[in-house]
DNA sequence: ATGCTAATGATAGTCATTATCACTATCAGT
DNA sequence: ACTGATAGTGATAATGACTATCATTAGCAT
């Protein structure tokens, strides 16, 4: 009952061929650029449907949700509060301890979210107060 | 330059005397109940100011921010996606490993957020499909 | 090929939070 | 204690990220 449509194919293709954490608006703009514009409501619905089908992954960052490829192993994120960039990391021991905590509490954990906020290496060593590149893909 | 006002005192007192993760609207309603109504915009600004002053703590849960007392040691949260309840936990080893990851990446971590989503013990063993208690304090 | 119904897209609505702005109150300096 | 600079208040408008509506279109099971 999940239908294959050109719009969803375009959204999925774009996410799969990039290494970006897209939000709905950014993705819609990129689709316009590439000549296959998709209505913004359809982008929201498409992203939600694709995630529900297990074809893409998401990260909730503050008030906005970002989507990325799912064909990499699970990872968590370092979020730079200066430039907004995302860095990825994997720490199996943390994953194991999370499951252990849930277990001990009788809590059936379905997923988790771990965000480390701070200043990335680049920002910490910035030459001057560069303007933030608002158009940068993260 | 952070001024002491009756509104902020009321907000802080309410948070400090309870063990609840308040959002702005809930807190405003409670203040009305207790006969010291505070404008909703002032509640938002007050919560933000108090957090900035290190007097209360916050958790970003999906699209809404919740505030709680800061006079307990740092902890993270188990979030029940069924009933919305929050359970707290501390895992020093996870904390240590987070700092280690940031260190290795040259990332200056300022804070973090770890949420474990799933079904709490009560919901997992519910007798029937009880209606969620929307008014419940969490 | 047909038809049931999910999907689309333009747009209106929702909801949490922030901005505006006229007015008030805190408090540092006298 | 007085006062002035300015932070804070509160009613309300605005914003921004989504979600609902609804007429129309188009997958896809049969
Ligand atoms: Mn990622
Ligand atoms: Mn807590
Ligand atoms: Zn940065
Ligand atoms: Zn529960």
- List domains and CATH numbers for chain A: 1-71 (1.10.10.10), 73-138 (3.30.1490.190)
- Judged by a CB distance cut-off of 8 A, whether residue B135 touches chain A is no
CA–CA dist A132, A138 (Å, integer): 13
Q: Is the pLDDT of residue A37 over 60?
A: yes
Q: Is the pLDDT of residue A1 over 90?
A: no
- Classified as helix, coil or strand, B8 is helix
Nearest ligand atom owner, CA of A119: 3
The per-residue pLDDT of chain B, averaged, comes to 92
pLDDT value at position B7?
97
The integer distance in angstroms from the CA atom of A40 to the C1' atom of D20 is: 14
Candidate from B81, B93, B107 with C-beta closest to A120:
B107
pLDDT value at position A43?
98
Query: For nucleic chain D, which protein residues have CB less than 7 Å from any of its atoms?
Result: A 3-6, 23-25, 40-41, 44, 48, 63-65; B 1-3, 5, 7-8, 38-42, 45-46, 49
Q: Which residues pair with A108 in a beta bridge?
A: B119
pLDDT digits (tens, 9 = 90+) for B65-88: 999 999 888 999 999 988 889 999
Which pLDDT band, with edges at 50, 70 and 90, does B1 fall under? confident
Residue B69 burial (CB count, 10 A): 17
pLDDT value at position A127?
58
The torsion angle over the Cα atoms of residues A43, A86, A60 and B137, rounded to 10 degrees, is -160
Rounded mean pLDDT, A57-69: 93
CA–CA dist B32, B26 (Å, integer): 10
Contact list, B117 vs chain A (CB under 8 Å): 109-113
Contact list, A97 vs chain B (CB under 8 Å): 91, 93-94, 97
Out of B70-74, B88-92, B120-124, give the one with best mean pLDDT: B88-92
- Judged by a CB distance cut-off of 8 A, whether residue B107 touches chain A is yes
CA–CA dist B73, B88 (Å, integer): 11
- Judged by a CB distance cut-off of 8 A, whether residue B103 touches chain A is no
The torsion angle over the Cα atoms of residues B18, B24, B28 and B30, rounded to 10 degrees, is -30
- Judged by a CB distance cut-off of 8 A, whether residue A98 touches chain B is yes
| Contact (CB, 8 A) for A31 and A37 | yes
Please compute, for residue A29, the number of CA atoms within 13 A of its CA located in the half-sphere on the CB side: 7
Spell out the residues 6+ positions from residue B17 whose beta carbon is closer than 8 angstroms to its own.
none
Which pLDDT band, with edges at 50, 70 and 90, does A105 fall under? very high
* B34 phi/psi in degrees, rounded to 5: -85, 10
| Contact (CB, 8 A) for B84 and B132 | yes
| Contact (CB, 8 A) for B133 and A135 | no
Report long-range pairs for A11-16 (Cβ below 8 Å, ≥24 apart).
A11/A38, A11/A43, A11/A46, A11/A47, A11/A50, A12/A50, A12/A55, A12/A56, A15/A50, A15/A56, A15/A67, A15/A68, A15/A69, A16/A69, A16/A71
With 0-12 CB in 10 A as exposed, 13-18 as middle and 19+ as buried, what is B52?
A: exposed
The integer distance in angstroms from the CA atom of A38 to the C1' atom of C9 is: 8
Global pTM reads: 0.89
Q: How close is the nearest chain A Cα to the Cα of B21, in Å?
A: 17
Q: What angle do CA A69, B95, B120 make, to 5 degrees?
A: 70
* Sequential DSSP letters for A16-31: HT----B-HHHHHHHH
Rounded to an integer, what is the distance from CA A24 to the centroid of its chain? 11
Which pLDDT band, with edges at 50, 70 and 90, does A41 fall under? very high
């Amino acid at each position: 009952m999940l239908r294959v449509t050109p719009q969803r194919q375009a959204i999925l293709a774009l996410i799969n061929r990039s290494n970006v954490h897209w939000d709905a608006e950014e993705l819609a703009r990129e689709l316009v650029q590439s000549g296959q514009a998709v209505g913004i409501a359809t982008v929201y619905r498409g992203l939600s449907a694709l995630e529900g089908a297990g074809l893409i992954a998401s990260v909730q960052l503050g008030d906005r949700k970002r989507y990325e490829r799912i064909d990499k192993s699970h990872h968590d994120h370092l979020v730079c509060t200066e430039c907004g960039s995302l860095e990825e990391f994997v720490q199996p021991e943390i994953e194991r301890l999370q499951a252990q905590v849930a277990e001990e509490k009788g809590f059936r954990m379905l997923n988790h979210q771990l965000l480390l906020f701070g200043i990335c290496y680049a920002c910490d060593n910035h030459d001057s107060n560069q303007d933030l590149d608002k158009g940068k893909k993260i």
